[in-house]
Chains A and B, each alone.
Chain A
Amino acid sequence: MYPKELKYTKTHEWVKNEDGEAVIGITRYAVEKLKDIVFIELPSIGAKVTKDSPFGTIESVKAVFELNSPVSGEVIAVNEAVNTSVDKVVKDPHGDGWIIRVKLKEQSELDNLLSKEEYEKFIQDIPKEG
């Protein structure tokens, strides 16, 4: 379910390295946990993002959550489709529902992120609610 070519964070974002550019989104697990996602607030192109710091927000009916950047760099593209509807994020969070594209500052920042296997283990160990 979680693609091998992506790296993951414990705050449920994913990142994909494409020749020094990082595509960033949220995981299927996050989508399922948040359930009633209604808006995602994106940064502007040119904005600087910092590893482990918020770059945007995601709003569900009940609450607001921060989107944390897995890497540092500069935003070079945002998924405009996400601005008008969160459908793509909900339906295909690891593909068409990507959120931002960042010009990587430090390639090495990718090294300590979770692999597919590590992330799957991490979410399995999260206690189930309700």
Chain B
Amino acid sequence: MKTIFYERHAALKAKMVDFGGWNMPLHYATGIIEEHLATRKNAGLFDVSHMGRVVFRGKGALLFLQHVLTNNAQALPIGQSQYTIIPNAKGGAIDDAYLYRFFKDEYILVVNAANRQSDWDYFQNIIKKFKEVEIFDKTEELAMISLQGPMSKTILNNIIDSGSMPEPLKNQLSIVKIKGIEVLIGRTGYTGEPLGFELFIDKNHALKIWDILIEQRATPVGLGARDTLRLEAGLPLYGHELNLDINPLEAGLEKYVCFEKENFIGKEALTGIKKKGLSRKLMYILMIDQAIPRYGYSIKNGEDVIGAITSGSYAPTLKKGIALGYIDIEHAQIGRDVSIEIRNKPYRAKIVKGPFYRKGTIGESHAKPCIQKN
């Protein structure tokens, strides 16, 4: 499949790859490192239209979402969004997603491209038991782009003709007009940048908005830098840090699981896991030796394998090898020295406090809506 921006990618001489069934830009002419740094220094423009946009509409939408998601959708007022997980009955992750509430009885759930069909089938099965809720797949008619980095706010301010920016915190939403085109904006993103926005635009007008953002000197960024940016920010990627056999607690995502909700799929299993204690934990690993850790490499303590890398790369901002990986609980301590087995040789690394990259503080609103008992 091709997104509405395909011709733009081709004109920019992007190297295209298949991702979740979509033909997407891996990088443009300048390459991953340049695109990564442009996002950190100025503003990066990402085509994220390959992600699934599932809309739930009706008075019963909230009740359904509360049942199938871990986070507390009830805490979302109109104009807010939150990170959430779609759990299975065992507490594993069917997908991770972002839930946006732009309107009263309508929610947009943005899911991973590769899981769009399986999420859809899963929801179809359960939604039959719920009243006054309709489900629509708006992936194709509603294009989605992401504008991230320190200049992103200035750029949007320059081009908005009416409506206000989503302020002041992450997860805030607003509806604006740009050159007469209605754009839904979320102050969200996948780069760790304190300033970053995701835009939903009717597909018939989406190219015009893309062109305006390019004119405003946003740098087009492909999936390669999207991955290095999210990894520096320590954000999970489904299929790597999360899957059907990994629960959100061991992934360090407990604050997005609302145990106070009356009931939801997976609550019983997750409550049991929490009570029993974790057997492994997702940790941040920084290379000491000059080497790049990659997916699947073993994490060792001396001769013993104590874990495995789920995502690893060269980090363009840090200029070092970084990784995320699951480590057996008895070894999962910040500050510990470990080694990473790369082509049958051990390379020195350290378990560090995440994320690898943090600029200022990113205030989050309504991502943590449950009253946590500390």
Interface residues of A (CB under 8 A from B): 35-36, 38-39, 41, 57, 59, 61-62, 64, 129-130
Q: Looking at the complex, which one of B15, B291, B316 makes contact with A61 (CB distance below 8 Å)?
A: B316
Tell me if A61 and B313 are in contact (CB < 8 A).
yes
* Given contacts A57-B343, A59-B292, A62-B224, A35 and B13 within 8 Å (CB-CB): no
For the A-B complex with A36-B31, A130-B15 known, give 11 more contacts whose Cβ atoms are closer than 8 Å: A35-B31, A36-B27, A36-B32, A36-B33, A38-B33, A38-B292, A39-B290, A39-B314, A59-B292, A61-B316, A64-B294
Identity of the chain B residue whose Cβ is nearest the Cβ of A54 in the assembled complex: B343
Residues of B within 8 A of A (CB): 13-16, 26-27, 31-33, 224, 228, 290-292, 294, 313-314, 316, 343
Q: Tell whether, in the assembled complex, residue B290 and residue A35 are in contact, meaning their CB atoms are under 8 Å apart.
A: no
Residues of A within 8 A of B290 (CB): 39
28 A-B pairs within 8 Å (CB atoms) are namely A35-B27, A35-B31, A36-B27, A36-B31, A36-B32, A36-B224, A38-B33, A38-B292, A39-B290, A39-B314, A57-B343, A59-B292, A59-B314, A61-B32, A61-B224, A61-B228, A61-B314, A61-B316, A62-B26, A62-B224, A62-B313, A64-B292, A64-B294, A129-B16, A130-B13, A130-B14, A130-B15, A130-B16
Nearest-CB residue, chain A, relative to B34: A36
Determine the residue in chain B with the shortest Cβ distance to A33. B15
What distance in Å separates the Cβ of A125 from its nearest Cβ neighbour in chain B?
19
List of B residues within 8 angstroms of A62 by Cβ: 26, 32, 224, 313
Contact status B14-A39, CB under 8 Å: no
Least CB distance, B47 to chain A, in whole angstroms: 15
Docked-complex contact B33 and A39, CB < 8 angstroms: no
B356 CB → nearest A CB, Å: 15
* A127–B224 CA distance with the chains assembled, in angstroms: 22
Q: Which of B13, B16, B27, B314 makes the CB contact (< 8 A) with A38?
A: B314
Q: In whole angstroms, how far apart are the Cα atoms of A64 and B228 in the complex?
A: 16
Alpha-carbon distance A57/B314, docked complex (angstroms): 15
- In the bound complex, residues from chain B placing their C-beta under 8 Å from that of A61 are 32-33, 224, 228, 313-314, 316
Alpha-carbon gap, A129 to B18, bound state (A): 13
* Cβ-defined contact, B31 with A39, below 8 A: no
Closest chain-A Cβ to B74's Cβ sits at a distance in Å of 41
Q: Which of B13, B27, B314 has the most CB of A within 10 A?
A: B314
A62 to B292, CA, bound (A): 10
A35 lies within 8 A of B291 (CB): no
Closest to A83 in B: B290
Contacts A61-B33, A62-B32, A62-B224 given; does A39 touch B292 at CB 8 Å = yes
* Residues of A close to B13: CB separation below 8 A: 130
Distance (whole angstroms) from the CB of A1 to the closest CB of chain B: 19
Q: Determine the distance from Cα of A39 to Cα of B289 in the docked complex, in whole angstroms.
A: 11
